[in-house]
Amino acid sequence: MKRNRLLRKLLVGTLMVAMLVPYMGNFTAEASASGNSVDLDTGSDNSNSSRDTYDAATSTSSFILPAGTWVTPQVSHGQDVLVVLPIVNMFKYNVKDVVITPVISTNKSEWPFEILQTGYTQKVDVLLGEEACPNVSDRVQNVVWAFRAREDVLSGYYKIEYNINYTNPACNIESCTISTFVKTIGKAGAGSVDGDDENKGKVSTPRVIVGGFTTSPADVYAGDTFTLNLNIRNTSKKTAVSNLEITLEAAIEGKDENTYSAFLPTSGANTIYVNRIPADGSTDIAIDLTAKADLVQKPYAMNIKMAYEDSDFNPFTSEASVSIPVKQQSKFETSSAEVMPSSIEVGQESNVMFSIYNTGKTKLYNVSVHFEGDSIEGGDTFIGPLESGATGNVDAMVSGVQATMDEGKIKAVISYENESGVVTKEEKEIELFVTEPVFDESMMQDDFMMDEEPKKNRMPVIIAAAAVLMIAAVIVLIVVLKKRKKKKLELTELAELEEELKDEE
């Protein structure tokens, strides 16, 4: 009876807290980090609060924390329950690619729920930081799971841990663990997980988690081989674990018959064996993997399944997940440059044209072209972003400023940024000659002489023309006089003939 009254009190208390949560905005609540725990400051003195330690939610990180709105869920055996984990980013800047995985187990003494699906990992794209969202309550992200309590669940408070991996503001992968509690009500006589008399002297069930991971090299590119280093930690402070079998399963990409693993072990085996991890100890393992060459640029999940035994050879299992960002090499090609004309004089312009092809699998940002050379100036061209497989065209006019002193080579400097804002520059050589303007003195002298000669020779031409006219006039006069003389002679002869005819008559 005493135990039933205690359970009823706990149930009523939990329900009252749950009813008050929607109205928490009516007073000032401030979440702050104190060591590795979360405090909810409501402006009142809680030093004498009867709040149980099971109501606390803690984190191993000073920045990724459970929000002050956390409420311990309560569920009876065989019933469904929604477990809401409110998390908040206390960094100044945003964190991204947040992967949250509850640590599950087949042992009823450490995991109160049925395992109804293959994985419970959830992802949050971005957790806003203080700079992007100054109000702490507005930065809270609620991550929700739907669970069903086991029929043989024990009564009491189960500790639930969540492994969290994320990309920090410096673009490095970090991890932490958030711990919460769930209150369960089992069947009569089911036993308790609270450390009552029937559980006294029992060794705590060991939990094995992934304490962190790194890759070598730090940046993983598609098609490259890298080493994945995992830190495996035994969280139990009393019990060692042994015969640890760790199986790595990469995310599956593609659909139907075209599916494939994002990462393949170079040795062909994806299982690692660890003989023993002492209580509250850890060990580091490493495996060489190759990223598929056609992976797009994004983070890929690696699921880690662990099977192990405690000191009494009881079998246990747990799962974790890490997120490995894969990058694609940025690359492009250019066409042959067309330069028209290929030789200019100082002060003249030439048209330079060529194309830029994005042959990589990642987007190029802020693509631009700058021309360099002692003999030219101008021609700067901004193209903008280039999607994978896209083409950008350069059509620039450069001006000659001084004569070419070398082999007639100028440089087109092509620059672009990747997704992280890192600028890459590549140079392309183009042939263009610039010469000094040419002045032909002999041509100028000939032109000058041609202008002066008409002035000097004008009188002889006029005299010659007058002489020709006079000669022509004399010739015409002689011809006319001869014709007149001939006609007069003919008339005289005709008159004499008529006279003779008359005399004969």
Distances in Å between the Cα of 387 and the Cα atoms of 95, 367, 417, 418, 419 are 26, 11, 12, 11, 12
- The span from the CA of 452 to the CA of 136, in Å, is 95
**pLDDT band at residue 505 using 50, 70 and 90 as cut-offs:** low
- The span from the CA of 80 to the CA of 67, in Å, is 24
Give the tens place of pLDDT for each residue, 227-263: 999 999 999 888 899 999 999 998 777 555 556 788 9
- The span from the CA of 371 to the CA of 414, in Å, is 9
Please name each of the domains of the chain with its CATH number: 1-90+98-126+134-201 (no CATH), 203-328 (2.60.40.10), 332-435 (2.60.40.10)
Structure confidence at residue 20 (pLDDT): 39
Who's near 60: CB < 8 A, 6+ residues apart? 36, 176, 177, 178
Give the tens place of pLDDT for each residue, 176-199: 999 999 999 988 777 788 655 444
* Structure tokens that stand for 49 in this block: 């609060």
**pLDDT band at residue 274 using 50, 70 and 90 as cut-offs:** very high
User: What is the average per-residue pLDDT within 51-64?
Assistant: 72
CB 62, CB 80: distance < 8 Å: no
DSSP string, 366-428: EEEEEEE-TTEE---EEEEEE-TT-EEEEEEEEEE-S---SSSEEEEEEEEE-TT--EEEEEE
* Structure tokens that stand for 150 in this block: 């086991």
Predicted structure pTM score: 0.46
Structure confidence at residue 2 (pLDDT): 40
- The span from the CA of 164 to the CA of 89, in Å, is 12
User: What is the average per-residue pLDDT within 125-140?
Assistant: 92
User: What is the average per-residue pLDDT within 70-77?
Assistant: 92
Higher pLDDT, 12 or 108: 108
- What sign has the CA pseudo-torsion 146, 149, 154, 156? positive
Q: With CA atoms as reference, report the closest residue to 382 among 422, 415, 429, 430.
A: 415
